[in-house]
Chain A
Amino acid sequence: MNNGYTIKDIRDGLAKGHFTAEEIFKKYSDKIKKENKKLNAYLSVFENYKLETENSTAMPLWGVPCAIKDNVLIEGTITTAGSKILKNYISAYDAAVIKKLRQTGATFLGKTNMDEFAMGSSTENSAYGVTKNPHDITRVPGGSSGGSAAAVAADLAVFALGSDTGGSIRQPASLCGVVGLKPTYGRVSRHGLVALASSLDQIGPITKNVYDSALVLGAISGHDIFDSTTVPGIVPDYTKNLTKDIKGLRVGVPKEFFGEGLEDEVNQKVRESISKLKDMGCEIVDISLPHSKYALAAYYIIVPCEASANLARFDGIRYGHSSKEAKTLLDTYTESRSEGFGAEPKRRIMLGTYALSSGYYDAYYLKAQKIRALIKKDFDNAFNLSTGGVDVIVGPTSPGTAFKIGEKASDPLSLYLSDIYTVPVNLAGIPALSLPCGKGRKSNLPVGFQIIGRPFDEETVLRVSYQLEQALK
């Protein structure tokens, strides 16, 4: 598969006059028109090229066409979050990340498909049909940012934004063979993101290579008064240290990420990448994250609890779907929500409501948050340099490669397991990147290699990823 244009290609092409920004936008728009039917990566497309600023080196993404996950608001356009309940919802304002992308000169091609309210790992939960994996259209692209990952993999966008609550950027990036980065919790503003689980959600880039990932991360990061979880301080130039030698860096390999359920071909590719890092002068250290096996169970308490609260705003009164059958106020709530939400949001709202209902808080939500503290502590210990800790932790992104459409649809729990290595990272709030590390010997499908870093140390994550990417070429 031809990977198409990177951000650097576009910038070079514009600088050399090979095409104008309008021409390249049109080229992508036409390509989407032709190929989106097959993939269903986009839910809506913006026909009109709009760029009012002048090209300048201060705008590193000027003229670069990108795709945005359909849970991020772009003023005046429809945002569905993959749900029927928001079918006609028109965004009242720009999300913080959209404002920032505009300031750096990016152009918007359209909004990409996703699991309803970002609940899922395959895009099969979208109310607007499944997205297909460009490597094999009988398979899922992963999720929930499956549309964004598929669009980048099929070169229907130069880069895309996704959101990651438990792996929703990294897992689809892994299954589609592209680079996906979940920044540290607090790095990127979520103002204007349709919330799933507010203590975990983070927006990040899906790109064709690590350099682009660093570039886009720099563009969207920073403090925002409208998201009080964003940290103050200067955003580093993430592209600056990509080539700095990684010799002597300590790379941790957690034994818990190589247990039961990991497919052989994924294990093999991941081990090859680890050997590569060793050849490059990294010190490979066996480590243990003893509580990570409890991460998924804690996650499936925390997410439904927070989602049930976040989704309470969909009441059929102010915006979104409203039932025509309703007679009383209560009917408006219950019937609008019944008609508007799909099966997975209903499942999670119910689960969260149960776990938060009177008498259950301690047993579920509090218990899960205590386990979360233990998971975070595991990572803190592993990264603690004063006790011989490591600089990054590596392993597989997902236990398998892209699965067949429908294969895991009947059993929610088996689908949840595809996030088993990504979820602990969200619970700990730390950054992680999924790097394509070749194709599985048996399936011939992309395998993702996950590189996890210390809080706010995206620089080291990107640096190791960049150099491994070069070595794997």
Chain B
Amino acid sequence: MAEKRHMNRNSWFGRLQTLPTHYIFMLTDKEVKHIANLARIKISEKEEKSLKKDLSSILEYIEKLNEIDTTGVEPLYQTTGLVNSFRKDEPRGEFKMDENLNEKLIGQAPRKENRFIKVGSVFEKNK
């Protein structure tokens, strides 16, 4: 199972080769950078090093799940057994749109103008 998974790894993570069964799990620098980008977190070089070490050791620990054959097992996403929990589609009426509520909801935006939240530009200006 473990071997099979490693063969399925995507090539853009820079690791195509099947790894030996007994190895110390180690993410590559490229992988760590790629994950940080996906997670929208800027990380320093120092953080990159420690994250690489920590994540690798946790992933190695997680490998032990592959000891169990889960063929045919239905995944369990929640435990209450509730299916389709509906409520009436009616206005709740407990919030009134006034200046007070406006302040509560918009007032905490770091950058704003009147009742609007200001957002930075998607593109950088040409230098």
Chain A residues within 8 Å of B, Cβ to Cβ = 88-90, 92, 185-186, 199, 225, 228-229, 231, 291, 294, 297-298, 300-301, 308, 312, 315-322, 326-335, 337-338, 341, 343, 346-347, 349-351, 353-354, 357-359, 363-364, 366-374, 376, 412-413, 428-430, 455
Contact = CB atoms under 8 A, between A and B. Distances in A.
B26 interface: no
B78 interface: yes
Contacts of A374: 68, 70, 73
23 contacts: A92-B105, A186-B82, A300-B62, A308-B39, A327-B120, A328-B121, A329-B119, A331-B120, A337-B40, A337-B41, A341-B41, A343-B47, A349-B41, A350-B32, A350-B55, A351-B55, A351-B58, A354-B59, A364-B62, A371-B70, A374-B70, A430-B79, A455-B79
B62 A301 contact: yes
B76 interface: yes
Interface in B51-89: 51, 54-55, 57-59, 61-62, 64-68, 70, 73-80, 82, 85, 87
Interface string B75-116: 111111010010100000000000000001100111100000
B71 to A, nearest CB: 9
Contacts of A353: 35, 38-39
A363 B9 CA distance: 10
Given A318-B109, A329-B122, A350-B35, A338 B42 contact: yes
Given A316-B110, A333-B40, A371-B70, A294 B121 contact: no
Contacts of A300: 58, 61-62
B17 to A, nearest CB: 16
Contacts of A231: 80, 82
A298 B58 CA distance: 11
Nearest to B57: A413
Nearest to B123: A328
B79 A428 contact: yes
B55 A370 contact: no
A178 B59 CA distance: 34
Nearest to B60: A413
Contact of B70 (A319, A370, A455): A370
A413 B61 contact: yes
B122 A369 contact: no
A89 B5 CA distance: 43
The interface centre, meaning the residue of A300, A308, A367, A374 with most chain B CB atoms within 10 A of its CB, is A367
Interface string B24-42: 0001000110011011111
B43 interface: yes
A199 B105 CA distance: 27
Contacts of B39: 308, 337, 349-350, 353
Contacts of B68: 291, 294, 371, 374
A218 B40 CA distance: 41
A396 B123 CA distance: 56
Given A291-B68, A349-B41, A429-B79, 8 more contacts: A185-B79, A297-B62, A297-B65, A338-B42, A347-B55, A359-B10, A367-B66, A372-B75
Nearest to B6: A363
Interface of B: 5, 8-10, 27, 31-32, 35-36, 38-43, 47, 50-51, 54-55, 57-59, 61-62, 64-68, 70, 73-80, 82, 85, 87, 104-105, 108-111, 117, 119-124
Contacts of B123: 328
B124 A229 contact: no
A367 to B, nearest CB: 6
Contact of A413 (B9, B36, B38, B58): B58
Contacts, number: 166
Nearest to B80: A186
A318 B106 CA distance: 7
A180 B8 CA distance: 44
A136 to B, nearest CB: 28
The interface centre, meaning the residue of A291, A322, A354 with most chain B CB atoms within 10 A of its CB, is A354
Contact of A346 (B47, B58, B59, B82): B47
Nearest to B37: A334
Contacts of A333: 40
Nearest first, the 5 closest Cβ-Cβ pairs linking A and B are A429-B79, A369-B75, A322-B110, A373-B76, A228-B85
Contacts of B27: 354
Given A297-B62, A332-B120, A358-B10, A185 B80 contact: yes
Contact of B65 (A321, A349, A368, A429): A368
B41 A346 contact: yes
A18 B51 CA distance: 57
Nearest to A337: B41
A412 B60 CA distance: 13
A19 to B, nearest CB: 35
B70 to A, nearest CB: 4
Nearest to A411: B57
A187 to B, nearest CB: 9
Contacts of B42: 334-335, 337-338
Contacts of A430: 79
Contacts of A455: 79
B85 A229 contact: yes
Contacts of A321: 110
B9 A370 contact: no
A201 to B, nearest CB: 12
